[in-house]
Amino acid sequence: MRRTLTPALLCLAPAALAAPADVVAVEVRAETGGTYRFEVTVASDETGWDKYADRWEVVAPDGTVLGTRELLHPHVTEQPFTRALGGVAIPEGIATVRVRARDSVEGWGGAEMTVDLP
């Protein structure tokens, strides 16, 4: 029996292949004044303005967002890409943080990284 895809099913194919943005590397350095600088590398299956990684966040173990780096444009030809955020204040007593990235279509849910603070 031969099966063919109808046009309606073909329209769903790109969405089925889409994936959320993944954090693939994180470097963190202590800054003067007790803050930290994060350099985060994100991989995303961006297609342009219709789908791209639009932010990454530094998150405390209790879920509190400590820092947000907004990504204001697609990085289709620059994959993976690295962006930095300095001046992130981390409350005393926190030794590790989680870094996650968001996709404009898929939202949160890609690979995250937990990093130790220096």
Q: What CA–CA distance (Å, rounded) separates 27 from 117?
A: 10
Residue-range domains of the chain with CATH: 17-116 (2.60.40.150)
Is this model's pTM higher than 0.75 or not?
Answer: yes
Quote the tokens at residue 115: 């990093």
Give pLDDT tens digits for 31-51.
988 899 999 999 998 888 989
Which pLDDT does position 74 carry in this prediction?
81
DSSP H or E stretch at residue 9: helix 7-17
pLDDT at 16 over 80: no
Which pLDDT does position 6 carry in this prediction?
41
Q: What is the residue-wise DSSP string for 81-114? A: EEEEEEEEE--TT--EEEEEEEETTTBS-S--EE
For residue 108, how many other CB atoms are within 10 A of its CB? 13
Which pLDDT does position 79 carry in this prediction?
83
